[in-house]
A = this chain, B = another copy of it.
Amino acid sequence: MKYMKRMLGALLGGAIMLGALALPAVSLAADKSKVVIQVSVNDPATWNLALNNAKNIQKDVGKDNVDIEIVSFGPGIAMLKAESEVANRVNEAVDSGVQVLACQNTMRGQNLNKEDMNGKVGYVPSGVVEIMRRQQQGYAYLRP
């Protein structure tokens, strides 16, 4: 009987420990949605689809319940140039909370500098590394 009590104490102790240690995993699962959207083609129809996707996700799950990141690299970098035909929509996306990021590897390869780019976008050293890392952090991936 005394042993049983001790066992119970041990089990209880274990349960408390486990509860404490398991919490981060549980709260991770309950975290807000996260999605990284890749733009790697020089095609305004695809750019508009990517921007529509971001907008629809915000509308459907609620702007505050989702982190959306658009990453442009390769031929897709043209979407984020200052004179891009979707520049206004890119501005709207940034203003609505979407992170819009240009790949600096690509910019170097195409002799683009920040003055050539939409003033509202952010930068990452490598678009593909960003996309890889985001997925490892639990982001869903979307390639329109």
B-contacting residues of A (Cβ < 8 Å)? 3, 6-7, 9-11, 13-18, 21-22, 33, 35, 38, 40, 45, 49, 52-53, 56-57, 60-61, 74-75, 105, 125-126, 128-129, 131-133, 135-136, 138, 140-144
Contact = CB atoms under 8 A, between A and B. Distances in A.
A138 to B, nearest CB: 8
Main secondary structure of the interface of A (DSSP, over half): helix
Nearest to A52: B74
B128 A132 contact: no
B14 A3 contact: no
Given A10-B13, A14-B18, 9 more contacts: A7-B9, A11-B14, A11-B16, A13-B14, A15-B17, A45-B75, A49-B74, A133-B140, A136-B140
